Amino acid sequence: MSDAQQPPRRPRAVVVWTLALTSAATFMASLDNLVVTTALTVIREDLGGDLAALEWIVNGYTLPFACLLLFASALGDRYGRRRVFASGIALFTLASAGAALAGSTDALIAARAVQGAAAAALIPLSLTLISAAVPPERRGAAFGVWGAVNGLAIAGGPLVGGAITEHLSWHWIFWLNLPIGLLVLPLALTRLPESRGQVERLDAVGTALASGGLFGVVLAIVRAHEHGWTSGSVLAGFALGALLLAAFVRHEARTPEPLLPLGLFRSRAFTAINITSLLMYAGMFGSIFLLTQFLQLIMGYSPMEAGVRMLPWTAMPMIVAPLAGALTDRIGGRPVVASGLLLMAAGMGWFALYADPAVSYPGMVPAFVLCGIGMAMFFAPSGAMAMGAVPPGMQGIASGVNNSAREVGGALGVAVLASVFAARGGYGSGQEFTDGLVPALWVAVGVLVVSAAVITWLPERRRPGRPDPAPGETPGARPADPVPV
């Protein structure tokens, strides 16, 4: 990459504002991904609805979020990342008010769907805005802070939801977003620098094919546990999604202005970090889904008590992620991510070996700590690695791809581990629950070990401050002109 292509150096105040505002918006969006899980029982008592309706309170957020990430990233590249990011904050805040005022499960599901659509703009564009504001040699530390906040929101969702539901009401889960959104929105419009990508014209056909394909696949995944992996509706969803995604790839290979330049995947670093992200989220989300139930149903803790006892896991990102980000700037992201994934696998293995209906909490603490450290070591470098693997003009869409991989992985992990649990155990007794939990956790261990192996496929680290090669560029060479993608 030539010097002319390097993003301009930003004043320190701009960097600080960018990191603070993107982290705040990311925290709000990531928290709402899981915050309702511990409040579903209370919501059912208040609004009514069957089990399927309660599941759609969660899935109603996940589906539009996963399906619109690429589209939102392209909008930011075309019309301005700050503008689309701020629009996402405004829409998310309004949708949160709608969720808080919902008088029925249908109204709540609709508001959650709008929240998910707005979050699709917040998460990927936050990464792109950070990349545009922070110099390359400091991005590891910056993404470490972002990763700490994001990891805390994801892992702390059940705790926050349980505490608010227990001491206030489930409505305040959503009212909490209003002061955050109203504070962050004007600051985002005035303090964030504007930036754009290389998109001159939106690829409408590609957007429709990608969104439809992701919708079919993710919908089939989230319904698989309820209807069975071989049911007609689930298989039809997978088939339709696969056909649309195949058509999307064919279209992108032929159109002159693609939504997703396929040349990005010629970068081994970009391909590997996306596969790793999918697998890591599958192992993490599926495990959290089952372990929070174990703490409540088998160990007898209330939602808030269960959240407090997960603090050795959930608090670790705040401590470890900034340190892991700084370490990434020194030695590169690959060894940090690989080590973190193996630590998470060790923690899951500890849970699997220790799980028993009569288990005591102190014996679980080391496993929580290992998982928390490992998760922080993944979150800190992974964003910088995804952004650094592509040219600056492609970072918006690269962020959308990476976050799509994470969302699909999370949905897949919950569905697969729940299916393993259901095949080997159930909710009839403590022993029956444990019989299903243990093999599911071993599946998570295997997924995390495979993801650690995938990340070793990354090329060797270059000198600090030097950007990753563009797709098609040979590591070590620095052509005067950008390599087309």
- Give dist(CA 421, CA 160) in Å, integer: 26
**What is the per-residue pLDDT for 163?**
73
Classify residue 354 by burial, with Cβ atoms within 10 Å: 0-12, 13-18, 19+.
middle
Structure token pair of residue 473: 């560029």
Identify which of 370, 383, 374 has the alpha carbon closest to the alpha carbon of residue 452: 374
Structural element, H or E, at residue 395: helix 395-424
CB 18 within 8 A of CB 133: yes
DSSP label at residue 472: T
pLDDT tens sequence for the chain (485 residues)? 444 444 555 667 777 888 888 888 888 887 776 677 667 667 777 777 665 666 677 778 877 887 787 788 778 877 888 889 999 999 999 999 998 898 888 888 899 989 988 988 887 788 778 877 777 667 667 766 776 777 667 666 666 776 777 777 778 888 888 998 899 899 988 888 887 766 667 777 887 888 888 888 878 877 776 677 788 888 888 898 889 889 988 887 888 777 777 777 777 888 888 888 889 988 887 787 788 778 877 888 876 777 778 778 877 777 787 777 777 778 777 888 889 999 999 999 999 998 888 888 888 899 989 998 898 888 777 777 777 777 766 766 777 777 778 777 877 787 788 888 878 887 778 888 888 889 999 999 999 999 999 888 766 444 444 444 443 343 333 333 333 33
8 A C-beta contact, residue 125 and residue 73: yes
Alpha-carbon span 236 to 61, nearest angstrom = 22
What is the rounded CA–CA span in Å between residue 332 and residue 209? 36
What gap in Å lies between CA 444 and CA 425, rounded to an integer?
A: 16
**pTM for this predicted structure:** 0.71
Rounded to whole angstroms, how far apart are CA atoms 31 and 347?
Answer: 23
Helices (H), 134-196: 139-167, 172-175, 177-191
